[in-house]
């Protein structure tokens, strides 16, 4: 059972909106692409976890703090006798281990995910001890991308490769697991300890005046140029999108980028590049938000 579902972080949502509406500096652009790819890999792994048939509690995207150290847990599965900690990587290409070093096939050293996993296990174990929980932690490093190849994997390391994922799930489903109030209490304390605002955010500074106004294709990023009441069609890739969905997504983008700003019909009219009629914007805001004020002074929240 999924106790805490996975969703895009606020940081990823902001970077995704900015990537459409401004030219991100190369460093921030690469950081955004890495975040997006990592999230996609975690979603792929969730599809495997949904095949778990035994009694279990699954918590995704936990950001915790222990002894002034923050750590991120991609997925944690609580079963009867063990808790399974998963670190998910969506790497492509060929990699190899050389001692404690993790490198690409070209010899470029990258951050060793096994060391990251060890750190998370240590901090999570300290958390368990602090609340009197004695359930052992079994860690796994999951490489989810089918285009990933690993050479010289350390012996006895808990590494799950794309080719062994199905076998791992089958093995898990052969175990016996019956949960009780202790397991439920642990999951509740983990959720309660989750930190919603990450201290590691790397969102660049942005000004309203520098952001492109309009409605942009979700597939290729091109700007929509013609309004139609039911379907908008991208002038570049020709992919259709529901008009109302495109407007709602534009409103949500504005809310992500300017969460403390009041929404009005005129604000969204300008934000969407005057593409939608004001009556359509007004109706959509009424359907999705609560109106405050009256007439020209009304706003939505």
What confidence tens digit (pLDDT) does each residue in 43-102 have? Answer: 999 999 999 999 999 999 999 999 999 999 999 999 999 999 999 999 999 999 998 899
Q: Say what the pLDDT of residue 301 is.
A: 56
Classify residue 223 by its DSSP letter.
Answer: B
- Mean pLDDT of all residues in 165-182: 95
Question: Residue 223 — pLDDT band, cuts 50, 70, 90?
Answer: confident
Tell me the mean pLDDT in the region 270-296.
81
Write 122-125 long-range contacts (CB < 8 A, 24+): 123/64, 123/66, 123/67, 123/69, 123/71, 124/64, 124/66, 124/71, 124/73, 124/76, 124/85
Neighbours of 285 (CB within 10 A): 23
Query: What are 6-31's pLDDT values in tens digits?
Result: 999 999 999 999 999 999 999 999 99
Q: Which is nearest to 267 in space by CA: 258, 203, 22? A: 258
Classify residue 135 by burial, with Cβ atoms within 10 Å: 0-12, 13-18, 19+.
Answer: middle
Question: Picking from 189-198, 245-254, 289-298, which range would have the lowest pLDDT averaged per residue?
Answer: 289-298
* Spatial CA neighbour of 203 closest among 1, 16, 7, 4: 16
Q: Which segment of 121-125, 153-157, 195-199, 268-272 scores lowest on mean pLDDT? A: 153-157
Phi/psi for 120 (5° steps) reads -65, -40
The percent of residues above 70 in pLDDT, for the chain, comes to 96
Q: How far apart are CA 74 and CA 89, in angstroms?
A: 10
- 151 DSSP β-pair partners: 96
Q: How far apart are CA 96 and CA 33, in angstroms?
A: 23
pLDDT score, position 99: 87
Return the percentage of the chain with pLDDT > 90, whole number. Answer: 75
Q: Counting runs of H as helices and runs of E as strands, what totals does the chain give?
A: 8, 14
H or E stretch including 62? Answer: strand 57-66
Residue 227 pLDDT level (bands cut at 50, 70, 90): confident
Q: Where are the domains of the chain?
A: 2-193, 213-300
For the chain, the average pLDDT equals 92
Q: Out of 3.55.50, 2.40.390, 3.30.450, 3.40.91, which CATH number does the structure's domain 2-193 have?
A: 3.40.91
pLDDT at 297 over 80: no
Residue range 128-153, pLDDT digits in tens: 999 999 999 999 999 999 999 999 88
pLDDT given for residue 294 in this prediction: 55
């Amino acid at each position: 059972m999924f106790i805490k579902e996975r969703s895009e972080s606020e940081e990823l949502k902001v970077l995704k909106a900015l990537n459409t509406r401004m030219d991100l500096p190369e460093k921030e652009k690469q950081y955004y692409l890495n975040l997006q790819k990592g999230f996609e890999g975690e979603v792929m792994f969730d599809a495997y976890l949904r095949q778990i048939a035994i009694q279990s509690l699954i918590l995704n995207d936990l950001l915790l703090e222990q002894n002034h150290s923050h750590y991120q847990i991609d997925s944690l599965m609580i079963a009867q006798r063990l808790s399974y900690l998963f670190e998910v990587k969506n790497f492509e290409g060929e990699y190899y281990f050389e001692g404690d070093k993790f490198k690409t096939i070209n010899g470029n050293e990258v951050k060793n995910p096994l060391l990251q996993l060890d750190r998370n296990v240590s901090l999570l174990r300290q958390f368990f001890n602090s609340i009197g929980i004695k359930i052992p932690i079994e860690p796994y490093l999951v490489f989810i991308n089918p285009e990933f190849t690993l050479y010289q994997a350390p012996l006895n390391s808990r590494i799950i490769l794309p080719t062994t994922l199905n076998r791992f799930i089958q093995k898990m489903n052969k175990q016996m697991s019956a949960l009780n109030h202790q397991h439920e209490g642990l999951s509740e304390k983990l959720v309660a300890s989750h930190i919603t605002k990450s201290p590691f955010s790397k969102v660049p500074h942005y000004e309203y005046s520098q952001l492109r106004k309009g409605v942009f294709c979700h597939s290729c990023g091109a700007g929509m140029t013609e309004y139609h009441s039911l379907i908008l069609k991208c002038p570049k890739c020709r992919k259709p999108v529901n008009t109302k969905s495109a407007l709602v997504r534009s409103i949500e983008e504005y809310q992500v980028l300017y969460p403390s700003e009041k929404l009005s019909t005129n604000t969204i009219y300008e934000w969407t590049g005057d593409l939608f009629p004001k009556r359509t914007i007004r109706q959509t805001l009424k359907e999705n938000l609560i109106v405050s004020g009256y007439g020209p002074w009304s706003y939505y929240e």
